[in-house]
Structures are given as C-alpha cells and as structure tokens.
Structure 1
Amino acid sequence: MELKNRYKTIKNSTSIIVYVPELVSIPETLFSGDITGDTKDWKNECYDLFFKPKKVITKPNKDKEN
C-alpha cells in the first residue's frame, strides 16, 4: 500500500521535485534498498527516468522506527 500511495503522490504532483516519505515496510522485491534523499543515488536516478521529468526524493518518515 505504501508504494501505491507513493506512486499516486508522484503521479498527482505538479512539482518537478517530488518529496515522498521513506518506506516503513520494505517489500521483499526491494532487496537493494529504497530511494534516498540523494538525487545522485542510482536508485533515485532510475525513479527519475521512469517518472520523467520529475525528480523523486525521500524525506524522513516520522512513523519509521530506527
């Protein structure tokens, strides 16, 4: 559900830079990790290619346990 909400946020955003919360529950298929706040991270760059022209960056999730 978190990923569906993330994709909906990205799709509905009118901004070029879209901030999304870090995932609380990491799906098993994301074995390499989530996107980050670093726009140069390769995972972020893949998101950017998919959601062109938007840049997607995480923001800290207050619900995430450390």
Structure 2
Amino acid sequence: MRDLLVQTLVDLRDKSNPMDLARAKTIAEVSTAFVNLAKVQVDYVRVTQQQRGTIFEALPAPGGAGP
C-alpha cells in the first residue's frame, strides 16, 4: 500500500500529466479505511491473543501476485 500512496504523490506532482484530484482523493479515502481496518484487526489479534488475523492473509503477495 505504501508504494501505491507514494506513486499517487508522484502522479499528482507530474506537471505534464497530473492525476485527477478526485481520483487521488478517493485513493486517500480508501487508504484511510484500510489503515483503520488494519488497526481494528491488530486490536482483535491482541485481545484474542492470536498470532495473526485474517486481514493480513488477504493482502497480495510481494510482486503483485494474488493471495
């Protein structure tokens, strides 16, 4: 996700072909929702004393391959 957000910033700053602001705002909103969901998952794992939660299993593998 970090790479996506960094690329969004790069695209926003590209003066020759800037990203649409509405699209950038949507990316930021979805990213915020994902971070909030991850925080809830971490809290759940902590309270239930599990080793990991299901949200992390849904993340794509490094390199962009699916779960």
TM-score if structure 1 supplies the norm length? 0.26
Q: Counting helix residues as a fraction of each chain, which structure ranks higher?
A: 2
TM-score if structure 2 supplies the norm length? 0.26
Highest RCO, 1 vs 2 (Cα 8 Å, sep ≥ 6): 1
